[in-house]
Structure 1
Amino acid sequence: MTAPEPNAPPLHAALTRHDRAAGRLRDFSDALAHRLPGSWNAATKAPFAYSPTYADAMDRLWDHNHVEWALLNFAQEEAALLDGPDKELLIVLPRPRRPGQFLVAALAPPGLTGTLHLHHAPDGIAVPADPARAAAAIERRFLPRYRQAVATVRGPALEEAHLLAQEALAEWDAISDSLCDEHGVPLDEDAYGARQVQRDAEAWTPFETFLFHGPAAIHDAQAALTTLTFPATTTGRWSHQLRELNGALAEGTRIRDDWDTYLADILNHRTGPGRWRAFNNALETRNAEAWHAITTFIDFTPVLHAIHDAERQQAQERKVSAARAAAARARSTTAAATPKRGTRLPTHAAPTPPSWLPAPPHTPGR
């Protein structure tokens, strides 16, 4: 999904006079953030239409229903973004033609493209302008569907991210030798540095996918590892690789959070032509600082898939064994209840009369 062209025909006016009341969306989103479970933060973006935030929202919008329709057909003067405790990112808009209602939808996790983005979208919902009722509706009707969608795409998204990071590293390995002499010294420092910057940027994008999905994926793998019946050498190796991934996750998260704050400060407080130069320089430094964590992600992410496959295989084996055991028990029970051919069934003797009954009269001569 792409943002409309700047010269596109004018869109419909999205907001009624009541909706344009100053601070209405800001007050609503702030109150909503305080009522949602966990720690949520709200930020209001105004003006919103055709801004960089709008373009990013259009690219990442995880909705193919009302919210997509509202963004494509109405010039939204403002929008709010809600940042959740597990890096959820929700967008809140006034609902066009429905005063007193808002639309809430999710922005897709980093790196989600193609069919994963298209077929698993947890479409947004309309909520009332009362923050308490809106928070209850989001918690009950939307967040469970969102989390289920994230869990569904987690494995495929990590596989795709790992492949992209491997490709970035392979391209660098293929070209880096040609940029150096036989002693490994760069022939042209500028050309070598520019290609290194490109490598870091290409690898950072899939690494962000790992930063989002990694905590849950590693947690699930560690839990599964305790149930697997494998040799100690195998489980020990997998446990070590999970610890390495955890370290890369912690390092990458720290780098991302530190630099996000610094990058936001550049955008919010600097002006003039040096603003974007400082921003791009900061991005390059962030990506380079994360390179060690990125290579750890490339080296050890396959353990997540190995543990998942082993868990699934052993679960299937247990299911087959249980089915065989149940069938064997059923056969043994049937065999015990069915008499063998040629076996004479016991005849039942007449019941013995109780001792308190009088003896039958004796008839002489009989």
Structure 2
Amino acid sequence: MRDSQKILAAWDAYSDEHTDLDGWPYDDHAYGMRKNQRDADTAEAFETLRYGARHLLATAETQLAQLPDNTVQSRWFYQLDVLHTALDRLDELHEQWLLTRDALTTTAKPGTVEFDDALAEHHAQSWSYLDDWATHGKVLREVNTAARKARSPLVPTQALATARRTAARK
């Protein structure tokens, strides 16, 4: 997620320097090429997270359900929902990419226009969902941190107080 945030920051800097005040690129071709690179880099950065993403979401939801209400930020529910939706859509787009890739001619290999254009289109379709992960993914750390700091729901407050008094007497 940090890599995705760095990629987005680099893109924002590039876009600011290479567009006019209305947001129109000075050089459409160069801008498009750089945008394709941003999309590909973001997709690559997410690959290390992709296969564990559902587990991370499930863990965060379990932790969130066990947190005391006064430690929960309401935005966490929204952010986890955004991540779920984005991951579902990314999975759908990945399946579509596999079908598209399999339908390419036998001469379409990485480095050929046919393959590279199809892959660039896939990355462009995926980018906004990958951006959702870069933007909202920090909620996973926030919920985990809150869960680690919270008292365990398995230890009643009375038992904890008694254990502390006993330890203090020794």
TM-score (norm. length: structure 2): 0.86
Please tell me the residue identity of whatever aligns with 2:31: Y
- Determine which structure has the larger strand proportion and give its number: 1
RMSD: 2.8
User: Which residue does the alignment assign to 1:299?
Assistant: 135
- Pair 280,273 (structure 1): closer, same or farther in 2 beyond 3 Å: closer
1:192 corresponding residue in structure 2: 31
Structure of greater relative contact order (alpha carbons < 8 Å, 6+ residues apart): 2
What's the counterpart of residue 265 of structure 1? 103
Q: What letter is aligned with 1:173?
A: D
> Structure 1 residues 209, 275: closer, same or farther in 2, change over 3 A?
closer
Flag the 1:294–1:224 CA change in 2: closer, same or farther, 3 A. same
Quote the Cα distance in structure 2 between the aligned partners of 1:290 and 1:216.
21
CA distance in 1, matches of 2:112, 2:124: 18
Give a deviation string over 1:289-331, Cα, whole Å, max 9, x none: 0111011101110100011111111147987x65552242578
Runs of 5+ unmatched residues, structure 1: 1-161, 335-366
Q: Residue 326 of structure 1 aligns to which amino acid in structure 2? A: A
Amino acid paired to 2:57: I
Distance in 2 of aligned mates of 1:270 and 1:318: 59
Task: Note the alpha carbon deviations across 1:193-223, whole angstroms, 9 max, x for none.
Answer: 0110111111111222332111000011111
**Aligned partners of 2:57 and 2:80 also within 8 Å:** yes
Superimposed CA distance per residue, residues 258-278 of structure 1 (whole angstroms, 9 cap, x where no aligned partner): 102221332xx4227998221
Cα contact 1:241–1:303 (8 A) shared by 2 = yes
The alpha-carbon distance between structure 1 residues 197 and 299, as it changes in their structure 2 partners (threshold 3 A), is same
Moved over 3 A (4+): 272-275, 315-319, 321-324, 329-332
Structure 1 residues 232 and 313: CA distance shift in structure 2, 3 A: closer
Matches within 5 A, 1:59-138: none
The aligned residue for residue 14 of structure 2 is: 175
Distance 2:145 2:94 in 1: 31
Tell me which residue corresponds to 2:54: 215
SS at match of 2:25: coil
Which structure carries more helix by proportion?
A: 2
| Paired residue total | 168
- Runs of 5+ in structure 2 lacking a partner? none
1:229 aligns with 2:68: yes
1:230 counterpart letter in structure 2: D
Contact 1:211 1:252 in 2 (8 A): no
What CA distance in whole angstroms lies between the structure 1 residues aligned with 2:109 and 2:87? 35
